[in-house]
Structure 1
Amino acid sequence: MEFKMKEEAGFYTDLPFGRLDVAGDEEYGFRPNQLLVASLAVCSGGVLRKIMKKMRMEFEDIGIKTSVERNPEIADRVEKVHIHFIIKGTDLNEAKLHKALELTRKNCSMVRSVEGSIEIEETFELI
């Protein structure tokens, strides 16, 4: 990726899906920490979806909520990301879902990339 400086603030890049604006101020683009958390959540969600399909688990929807803990004493460093999956389906097996989450953690490239530097916690609820 190649980023170009914007006149007002931040940077941008043009990607096949469209333009991505990134800035420290939400008025001018996505904030870097938002992109980090989104990458972790959506990578995990995509992997979980694929694993659940392979395990023949029937589901209608997967929602994702995140929360972040930051350390203001160390450049507002992201210390922990909690990824909570809200899974809608019928006759879902919780034990099977725990196994699916273990496999998700092992196969999500974004989670594996921050391993050892950012704590990732995954939980789920069934609706």
Structure 2
Amino acid sequence: MEFYSKEFGVRTNLPYGELDISGDEEYGFRPFQLMVASVAGCSASVFQKILKKQQIEVEDFLVTAEVERNPEEANRIETIRLHYIIKGYNLDDEKLYKNLDVSRRNCSMVRSIEGSIKIEESLESIELSR
């Protein structure tokens, strides 16, 4: 990857498109947003693949992320809380949590920051009727 200097940050060109990164949200994505998006995106993708492989019928899948930062340490990310809301059929919370644990062990972004950023995960299931 190559990053090019621009007036208020850096830019990179990736196969999917151009990405602007800046400490000022007016000029691009803030670095902490990209970090959280990477963790949430990786975790959610792996989790969805596992649910699909196990043929769990999911109609809607949402993940929210809350971030706790430490202003005393350069606004370091201390904690990322991921909350999954899964709507589907014949959902079993115990099985969902087991699958979430498997996804955590197989998400490269979560594994990369283990020990430096606390990751908390929770989920709620919403049973749909046919």
Which band: TM-score by shorter chain? over 0.9
More strand by share: 2
* Cα distance in 2 between the residues matched to 1:102 and 1:19: 33
Q: Counterpart of 1:3 in structure 2: which amino acid?
A: F
Please tell me whether residue 35 in structure 1 is matched to residue 37 in structure 2: no
* Cα distance in 1 between the residues matched to 2:53 and 2:63: 20
Deviation of the 1:91 alpha carbon:
1.2
Structure-2 residue corresponding to 1:6: 6
Residue correspondences, number: 126
Q: Where do 4+ consecutive residues of structure 1 move more than 2 Å? A: none
Q: Which runs of 5+ in 2 are unaligned?
A: none
CA offsets, 1:22-73, max 9 Å, x none?
A: 0000000000000000000010000000011122211012111110011111
**1:59-98 correspondence to structure 2 within 5 Å:** 59-98=58-97
Identity %: 58
Q: CA RMSD in A?
A: 0.7
Give the structure-1-normalised TM-score.
0.97
Structure-1 residue corresponding to 2:54: 55
Give the structure-2-normalised TM-score.
0.95
SS where residue 57 of structure 2 aligns? coil
